[in-house]
Structure 1
């Protein structure tokens, strides 16, 4: 497949990238040839930013947002990307400082990903809600199957400033245990098509914000 032509200035850092205190950490070259169909792209930040991304298949213009997972650990923000079919993809990164209340995140960096072949099956990542993107990180699980949930799934996540964290399956709440600092752990079991991870950040005890939504 021929390499696509892109507008001048499209690839790489955009004007707001440096302004928001971001710099590349793992992939400085925006033109990336993959060895499989997975890649983790990391940026360093000098302040906490909320981020999101979009993966666009160049040949079809189809968006694959379910194939991107964003999370933050310390001053590193990571984008886990799965490529569903061989070909060229545009990975567009958007960001905004957490202190900015604007609803629109400007584009800050663009990659072109070339995936020659598929090395492993693709499983959709959980949907990430707004507060997940403000410093959260999950060690496990990234993917949940129905069979795994029936047997019990271990959760281990970092949720800054949370007063309580719970997983919900069919309106059954499982509270995770605080293991010190911002780390929350617990085992969740049930039978459902969907599971959500939720957090209470203070105020009303019954008020929880959805962080992640897993579909099975």
Structure 2
């Protein structure tokens, strides 16, 4: 179906596009300059890139328009340099509102403000593959190369992990109660193979943990097994 044949849903005036603080926060659109994105039927995912000029906190919300349901687990936030990358993998056909929130790190307050809103049309229907849960510290310059997702009940003994975690002294993957250290192969880049063939209880999590200062580990990503 062509973009011209798609009937747009009713959206509140002023919702789409840049919001009040977009320019004030020094943000710029790197990949998609228009607020409406039409994905192709054979396109399972789309990546939106947002540029920044200063240190800033970012989060995102993905909402199914037809189902009125938040599905942010289908958006992976990654960072490369001053760019934030939002990899979106819609679970079902339809329209999705992608709402980006931000706040400069030198501004007080926990409440991030809406800075840009997209409307994404997804006509396809692919395998349901949510991304791992991302904790706030993950969005502080980290990048996940693999695995982008893990299937439920996985029993693979050789799952490769590769992540960039700036300023980390140690990165480990905890599967159930088992800790698996990753090796720092270059500055800030950690990788290695993790065994998922060992017995872990139903409903367990695989957690990517990092140690920065001291002995405490912080959870950055969480996969449902």
TM-score calculated relative to the size of structure 2? 0.88
What corresponds to 1:8 in structure 2?
13
Residues 34 and 22 of structure 1, relative CA distance in 2, 3 Å threshold: same
Shift of 1:150: 3.1
The number of aligned residues is 213
Shift of 1:149: 4.9
Residues 18 and 149 of structure 1, relative CA distance in 2, 3 Å threshold: farther
Residues 197 and 149 of structure 1, relative CA distance in 2, 3 Å threshold: farther
Q: Matched residues in 2 for 1:198 and 1:96: separation?
A: 25
Residues 5 and 70 of structure 1, relative CA distance in 2, 3 Å threshold: same
Contact 2:91–2:129, Cα closer than 8 Å, also in 1: no
Contact 1:48–1:134, Cα closer than 8 Å, also in 2: no
Contact 2:57–2:103, Cα closer than 8 Å, also in 1: yes
Deviation string, structure 1 residues 26-72 (Cα, Å, up to 9, x no partner): 10100111113411101111123222211111122111111111010
Contact 1:48–1:135, Cα closer than 8 Å, also in 2: no
Structure 1 residues without counterparts, runs of 5 or longer? none
Q: Matched residues in 2 for 1:161 and 1:82: separation?
A: 29
Shift of 1:7: 1.6
Residues 156 and 86 of structure 1, relative CA distance in 2, 3 Å threshold: same
Q: Secondary structure at the match of 1:18?
A: coil
What corresponds to 1:141 in structure 2?
147
What corresponds to 1:124 in structure 2?
130
Once the two structures are superposed, the pairs formed by residues 107-186 of structure 1 within 5 Å of their partners are 107-118=114-125, 120-145=126-151, 149-186=155-192
Q: Matched residues in 1 for 2:159 and 2:27: separation?
A: 35
Compute the RMSD of aligned alpha carbons: 1.7
